[in-house]
Structure 1
Amino acid sequence: MTASPMLWLSSAGQRLSLATNHQTHEFAALWLRERAPDADTLDPRTGQRLIEAAELPLDLAVESAERAGDHVKLRFSDGHVTDFSLQDLLAACHRADTIVPGRTLWDSRLEEPPRANFAAALQDDAALLAMLEELHRTGFVLVSDVPTQEDGMQALIDRIGPLRHTNWGGIADVKSVANAYDLTMTQRGLEPHTDNPYRDPIPGYIWLHCLTNAADGGDNTLVDGYQAALALKQRSPEAFECLTRIAPSFLYHDDTTRLEGEGPLIELDSHGRVARVRFSNRTERVDALPADELEHYYAARQAFYRLITSDELTLHLKLEPGQMLIMDNYRLLHGRRAYQLSGGIRHLRQGYVDRDSTASRRLVLRQQLSAHQRQEVSA
């Protein structure tokens, strides 16, 4: 922001322009009125809107805009007066990011995985916030010193939770079993994938806890799906566009459950930014679209597959007993190498925690700890 941002009205007051040293932002008068931060418009406790925005006159205008330090005072044609901070106005502006904000991209050159300690995150809010911030930023975190009991990760989930229950229960085994109901429960290698795209909502975060891992092979693979999507966009814009447009179905069924969902392999948010990736070769089903459209889709999917299986983007690690991976299932593609039980047992446990509760915990902790730090400074 410049020392003195410029303000002016246009379109008979139905537009407010704010110019900084970087660019000019334009705000609609109706948007400013319904987003007014005062207690007559927003409930001070809940932040929920008190006025009926749909009843505001469509020709509502800003009659005056006056700069006062780092705030701007607005008077509207309905007589309402409010005060915005310039920082809040600029923070609300649409940004031309290519991925959802606040993320750090990575590939196989990532030297050190983000780490957290189980006991520290369990006992200390600052350590828990650091873990959640890293998970949000990087898409995964490797947690050490998790109790090697079957539900050893439950206590930390309860600090964030709740645990998502599915037809498989809560925390479930990931090990080779006879008559496996899912290929995860076999010894075969698994291609990079996201979990459960056939559910609604799709599980937000995967918690994968290692109890023992003495089998030969079975190393985990991780790929940053955002990085892969942007690499595809750069190298083949047509393939990228195709995978954001065509939405295959994803199916799962067993004796007691039938699940079906759909969505594009690369999903954009309302601003055109990459927000989610899906990939599940085992469960994907594409409709019988026109042949030429399917040809484009298959070529685009193959190009994306070659990226997510490439040495360029793939990170390898083998979980040890007492380690746990927490993974963003909207972003990360994970897989594993095939393994043989001749070397010993491979037993992992897995659970899901949804996105809303995880984001809420992070944001509340951030607010609480920031307020506490301000109090300490002013004391």
Structure 2
Amino acid sequence: MTHVRLRAQGQRLVLDHRDQSREFTALWLRERSPDPQTRDPRTGQRLIEAAELPLDLRLEAADVSGAALALRFADGHRCEVPLEELLEVPIDPPRRLWDAAGAPTPQADFAAALQDDGALLALLEALHRDGFVLVSGVPAKEDGMRPLIDRIGPLRRTNWGGIADVKSVADAYDLTMTQRGLEPHTDNPYRDPIPGYIWLHCLTNAAEGGDNTLVDGYMAARRLRERDPVAFDCLTRVRPGFRYRDDTTHLESEGPLIELDSQGEPVRVRYSNRTERVPALAPETLDTYYAARRAFYELITGDELTLHLKLAPGQMLIMDNYRLFHGRRAYQLAGGVRHLRQGYVDRDSTASRRRVLRRQAEPHAQGEPA
């Protein structure tokens, strides 16, 4: 059953629905009114200037009308607001956090995702849920992953171009282009915005070692908060800088190693030992930060959270660069070449594609009964 009641002389509305109770201000309800005088019917964008509404606006009446609330405001405005808009139905499904013992193995087929919207949606849902997905059957050519990027994209271009090589070269401009191991890190924290998803495609892999490592940064943040709240708090507040510079490029940005959303939950992690530049903060602050960073480092490099993968030719790893730390073990070439290709796709286009595909897959979107 659904019940509503007004309080605070009509400036508040309390909605009781099953075991959920929520309270709304009259002004919030008025500016979200779905009528065509308030919101454009085609775009859903607001037509009125919300900042000009009376700050003391009141509701004079509120009644349940089927699957909506019928509202009458003191300024004479009337509307019906669908209950589903008020009951906090999540836009996105929850994420599944994992450690080494419980790590998932989300997989997808390149050709299927390229040809079928349902398969593409499954790939994108897995990527959102688990933070990564392993794609098989990618054509063994330099831009083999490009057609699937174009189904989601666009491809994010950087100072290195679009899709770039990841292989050992002489006079490497980045440590990625050597045979050394790489500590767990996130890519490009010196950019604004930071690239959202990393696409890593294996062409050949005649190497001893070179396994990829993955760590769920959200799980690492959760473990740190449970075990060392002081360290967790420090890493959400101190904002180190990050810098990349070469002959033609100079990039700088800053941000906390653990960034929280409005609900106090991790929404982005950063770690880049190669590019971090901590400012000369107060000594006491630095002492706390360095101890906190050490605690976080020990978590993200330990066996407890680390998943090991070795890509074979024709496989591709798509990783959430806001959530996962990735690295690799050092390698030696075994009479051949280790050649991977890497590109970036931003979060907004990826999330948009997933949400549109899910909406199209819903029964009512196909003209079937909801």
TM-score range, shorter chain: over 0.9
The CA distance in 1 between the partners of 2:369 and 2:86, in whole Å, is 27
Would you say the 8 A contact 1:38–1:82 is kept in 2? yes
Q: Report the counterpart of residue 137 of structure 1 in structure 2.
A: 129
Matched to 1:294, the amino acid is L
Of 210, 216, 237, the match for 2:202: 210
Q: Report the counterpart of residue 187 of structure 2 in structure 1.
A: 195
- Say if 2:4 is the partner of 1:12: no
1:21 Cα deviation after fit: 4.3
Q: Report the counterpart of residue 311 of structure 2 in structure 1.
A: 319
TM-score, L = length of structure 1:
0.94
Superposed CA deviations along residues 315-347 of structure 1, whole A, max 9, x for unmatched, are 001000000001111001100000011353110
TM-align CA RMSD: 1.7
Q: Report the counterpart of residue 76 of structure 1 in structure 2.
A: 73
Would you say the 8 A contact 2:214–2:324 is kept in 1? yes
Q: Report the counterpart of residue 47 of structure 1 in structure 2.
A: 44
Q: Report 1:169-318 matches (<5 A).
A: 169-318=161-310
SS in 1 for 2:367: helix
1:245 Cα deviation after fit: 0.4
Would you say the 8 A contact 1:277–1:330 is kept in 2? yes
The CA distance in 1 between the partners of 2:103 and 2:22, in whole Å, is 39
- Say if 2:105 is the partner of 1:113: yes
1:377 Cα deviation after fit: 5.6
Would you say the 8 A contact 1:66–1:72 is kept in 2? yes
SS in 2 for 1:187: coil
The CA distance in 2 between the partners of 1:154 and 1:124, in whole Å, is 16
- Say if 2:147 is the partner of 1:150: no
The CA distance in 2 between the partners of 1:299 and 1:37, in whole Å, is 51
The CA distance in 1 between the partners of 2:293 and 2:333, in whole Å, is 33
SS in 1 for 2:362: helix
Deviates more, 1:28-37 or 1:246-255: 28-37
Deviates more, 1:109-118 or 1:119-128: 109-118
1:84 Cα deviation after fit: 1.7
Judged with a 3 Å threshold, the aligned counterparts in structure 2 of structure 1 residues 373 and 8 are, in CA distance, closer, same or farther, namely closer
Of 55, 58, 75, the match for 1:61: 58
SS in 2 for 1:360: helix
Superposed CA deviations along residues 198-246 of structure 1, whole A, max 9, x for unmatched, are 0010001000000011111000000101100111111111111110000
SS in 1 for 2:128: helix
Judged with a 3 Å threshold, the aligned counterparts in structure 2 of structure 1 residues 50 and 162 are, in CA distance, closer, same or farther, namely same
TM-score, L = length of structure 2:
0.96
SS in 2 for 1:341: strand
The CA distance in 2 between the partners of 1:78 and 1:376, in whole Å, is 40
Which structure 1 segments of 5+ residues have no match?
94-99
Matched to 1:346, the amino acid is R
Would you say the 8 A contact 1:216–1:343 is kept in 2? no
Matched to 1:292, the amino acid is E
Q: Report 1:365-376 matches (<5 A).
A: 365-371=357-363, 374-376=366-368
1:134 Cα deviation after fit: 0.8
The CA distance in 1 between the partners of 2:85 and 2:96, in whole Å, is 24
Matched to 1:189, the amino acid is G
% identical equivalent positions: 71
